[in-house]
Structure 1
Amino acid sequence: MLTIGVSAAVAAVTAPLVPSSAHAAGPQIIDLGVLPGTTSSVATDLNEHGVIVGNSSGNSASRAVRWKNGTMTDLGTLGGPTASATAINNNGWIVGNSNVDDYGTRHGFLWRPGQPMLDLDSLGSDSFAADINDAGVVIGQYYDSELGFRGFRWENGVMTTIENQAGGPDPDLRRFIPKQITGSGLIVGESQGQAARWVDGTVTLVGVPGAYCGGANAAGEVTASASLPTERAFVWRADGTTRTLQMPSGTTRAWPTSINADGDAVGYGTSGHGTISRPVYWSETGVAHSLPSLVPDGHSVAVRVNNASKVIGWSHAADGTTRAVLWSA
């Protein structure tokens, strides 16, 4: 594994992001840098210890990386040229996907400190790991040549298909694409064209056609976005009710991607027919706060927020490349 030092500012960030009058200067954005030989990077997840994962790419190759204590580490691959990390749990276990050969086949992987990268295999051809909880349960999707993408749950070396069993014999109606798993084992994702929860084989739909699923917290709250009957972003509570997230100023649609234990959410708003994206932090009351970009009016997306209200994502730099970033007070 290649390890390099990154800015000391990254290691020094311990204060949570709390957009309020107590922080007159507002939240700060920190460029997490790139691996040598690459030009762009993206942060995809962080755990409660502030360890961040994502990828660094350039020259048609992507590498899975971890940022920890000011050091960026290349996690390696499953044998092919590229890999990307998608999630990390509080034990430091990381999942993602990697080429297994030079011919493009990709499998989900599990990376654990001090151990070789583990191939999660597939129930079809390619597989893609999306998330992992602290119990080591991994969720994601695999590709079946006849049925298309299907959801999977992996535990202790065994991968099983997860479906919406209420969909009957129609494979499209049975399809459940998982996005996140909580510590209790609740899996959230999308089924039948809308946000959904999966618990022990039972799928509950949000009841809003076209609703996109963002993320979930331990309380079972799920962030979502919909365009019908009007453009709106909301939190779908475990009891089935919803609370509205304010539309960010200057945007026409909002996409909340993550929510923490306090009910604070992050994501982005889009305008200009989706050509411009702005990072957003929503307080638990649903009030939207704008986050800064690396350059004024640059494209940026907030991807995850942890329980300390640290936020990660990506932002376009002045040279047009994409950079993994951390927002902090």
Structure 2
Amino acid sequence: MDKLNAMRAFNAVVLEGSFTKAAGRLDMSPQLISKYIGQLEESLKVRLLNRTTRRVHLTEAGQAYFERCQQIVQDIDDMENDLSNLQTQVSGTLRVSAPMSFGIHHLSEPIARFQDQYPEMKVELLLTDRKVDLLDEGIDVALRIGHLKSSTLVAKKIVPIRLVLCASHAYWRRHGEPQDLTDLSKLNYLRFTYSDLRTLLLDWSSSMSSQDFNSDFSSNNGDVIVNLAIQGRGYAIQPTFLTGAAIEANELQVLEKFAIESLGLYALYSHREFLASKVRHFIDFLSDYYGDTPYWDRYCNSQRK
């Protein structure tokens, strides 16, 4: 027996006063309504309704059952409506994970604008360069930079992330601009801990290894690496969302001759089906905010004119 539908049928019969009207209210046949009532009475081992040719009347047991049954059905309807609103309304708390440097430089303004547009939204932002477990840590959406490997998570690309090889003008003048990988290997590489030259340089030679490159500094933070590059300590391979301002201010010079594969900023979430409205709207908002060519890459267009 479908207990919930049987309870709905019973409520409708009591409120409408007849099986026929209850059937019309619930868009069921009178026969199905009668079947549900019979199943309820059989299950409860009591008579709930006294039936006449014109009207139905509640028994004492039926009256007691109706009072509780009506509240239960109403509570269930309210719960389903609340859950449905979570899927259709942009409200509640959104927990977002993002890389440290990207979040510091490029998430404050879009999050502020997102909350201006959706004032019922609360945002909790976790900045970390480790890969969080969305389910274990209760994260709604994780922003990650790189090439995504196969995963049980659903991913949507938000914006391309361009990498450049750059150093200060003083560094290039002092050491000369490298013409090939052999020249480059003799200079000082400010190494980002989480990346490997072999995965960055497209013209990498199979005869070379990471150990062939000089490096007296490494860090797991791109901001520190960019600042050291500005101070002339060596060259860096960093994303334009960190180097763009320094390049535009003529503090760093890019060497375009070295081909570097672009990465991507991806939004990861757990399920494609029944995606919460707050997650879908946040991802779409970020995509529109950054656009196909993000604002930190505009210096490239001006340089090439």
TM-score by length of 2: 0.23
Q: Could you say which structure has the larger radius of gyration?
A: 2
Structure possessing the higher relative contact order (Cα contacts under 8 Å, 6 or more residues apart): 2
The structure in which a higher percent of residues are helix is 2
TM-score by length of 1: 0.21
The structure in which a higher percent of residues are strand is 1
